[in-house]
Amino acid sequence: MTDQGMGIRLSRDVFLALCAIGWADGELDRQEADGILRAATEAGLDIDALQEIEEATKTSRSLDTLDRSKLTPIERTFVYATAVWLARLDGHVDIEERIALKKLGDLLGLPDGIRTHASAAALEVSNLPTGDRPDRYDLDRLRTRLEERLQNPKTFNDD
DSSP codes joined into one string, 116-134:
HHHHHHHHHHHTSTT-SST
- With cut-offs at 50, 70 and 90, classify the pLDDT of residue 91: confident
pLDDT at 135: 54
Question: CA–CA distance from 56 to each of 6, 20, 27, 78, 145 (Å)?
Answer: 27, 8, 12, 18, 27
pLDDT of residue 1: 32
pLDDT (tens digit, 9 = 90+) per residue, 26-50? 888 888 888 889 888 988 999 999 9
The DSSP 8-state label assigned to residue 91 in this structure reads S
In this prediction the pTM is: 0.75
In this predicted structure, the answer to whether residue 134 has a pLDDT above a threshold of 70 is no
* pLDDT for 158 beyond 80: no
Domains of the chain, by residue range, sit at 8-156
Alpha helices in 43-111 (DSSP H): 47-58, 73-88, 95-108
Q: Does 131 have pLDDT greater than 80?
A: no
- Per-residue pLDDT at 8: 55
CA distance 21 to 15: 10
Residue 34: partners with Cβ closer than 8 Å, 6 or more residues away? 134, 135
Top-confidence residue, 129 or 106 = 106
pLDDT in tens, 48-84: 999 999 999 999 877 777 777 878 888 888 889 988 8
- Whole-number percent of the chain with pLDDT over 90: 16
Reported residue count of the chain is: 159
Q: Does domain 8-156 have CATH number 1.25.40?
A: no
Which range of 4-8, 37-41, 106-110, 152-156 scores highest in mean pLDDT? It is 106-110
